[in-house]
A and B are shown apart, each in its own frame.
Chain A
Amino acid sequence: MQRVPILKLGDVLIVSIQIDLEDQSVLALQEDLADAVVQHGAKGVIIDITAVEIVDSFIGRMLATIASMCGMLDAQTVVVGMRPAVAITLVELGLSLGGVRTALNLEKGVALLDHIRSATP
């Protein structure tokens, strides 16, 4: 099983998914990320799915789980880089990802995190 690396930039963690996600890798990432948020006292998490070719129900559930889990650990999550074909497919699959914040790209994701944090003192 391949592991997805977690990078630290200030108090933000960046996860850029560059592998074909196996279910085991998905579960490992959830755990690794929870540990990393606590260990580094991270306030934000950015998940970059630019290279992810499909999001099925399992991967979609991971994104939702990570967002609520990080929320409980006092970190805000933004998912960036979703491909248009992936968005279309997700809607038809029936997954709205309602509780997950998204931005078009990494730059906009960072700006969104800044904005959220300046709005919540």
Chain B
Amino acid sequence: MSGEREVVIAGSADVVGVRQLVRSVAVEIGLSLVDQTKIVTAASELARNALVYGGGGDVRIEIVTNGPRRGLKLIFTDEGPGIPDIEQALTDGWTTGGGMGLGLGGSRRLVDEFDLVSEPGKGTTVTVTKWSR
């Protein structure tokens, strides 16, 4: 993959598409099988959240470097209702959608860097990075 890619998340088939693309880039930068599985799982959670709660959105996929290490950075953006209380949303078990409330908290544990910015009424951006070891 040269440069960046952006994928629209507008339906549940797109969530599968995001998983497949993230997997192929994770393989390309040499992540271990376990780390590939972790970042693809986190991507699946965040893509579904953007779809279900954000009413759709997109993800930018970037390869980043830090000295000899390469990383995979994913930026999920939606223009949905936003998250009023971020700490609460990150708490395991907290859900407003009848889910298990594990998507956000679990994704944070599965990646090396996690950043969530949200403004009620404007939307939500979640940025995650997984580094090769």
Contacts and interface: CB of A to CB of B under 8 A. Distances in A.
A24 to B, nearest CB: 6
Given A20-B20, A55-B41, A85-B37, A93 B110 contact: yes
Contacts of A92: 38, 106, 109-110
A57 B13 contact: no
B16 A93 contact: no
A1 B106 CA distance: 27
Given A22-B16, A57-B100, A93-B41, A88 B106 contact: no
Contacts, number: 72
Contacts of A60: 100
Interface string A48-77: 000001111110110000000000000000
A85 B106 contact: no
Interface residues of A, number: 24
Contacts of B19: 20, 54
Given A57-B102, A85-B34, A93-B106, A23 B41 contact: no
B100 A53 contact: no
A82 B34 CA distance: 13
A95 interface: yes
Contacts of B12: 22-24
A58 B48 contact: yes
A93 B109 CA distance: 7
Given A57-B106, A94-B92, A94-B106, A22 B13 contact: yes
Contacts of A86: 37
A89 B38 contact: yes
Nearest to B20: A20
10 contacts: A20-B20, A54-B40, A58-B44, A84-B34, A85-B36, A89-B38, A89-B41, A93-B109, A94-B92, A94-B109
Interface of B: 12-13, 15-16, 19-20, 23, 33-34, 36-38, 40-41, 44-45, 48, 92, 99-100, 102-103, 105-106, 109-110
Given A57-B103, A61-B100, A85-B37, 14 more contacts: A22-B12, A22-B16, A53-B40, A54-B19, A54-B44, A56-B45, A56-B48, A56-B103, A83-B37, A85-B36, A88-B34, A92-B110, A93-B45, A95-B100
Interface of A: 1, 20-24, 53-58, 60-61, 83-86, 88-89, 92-95
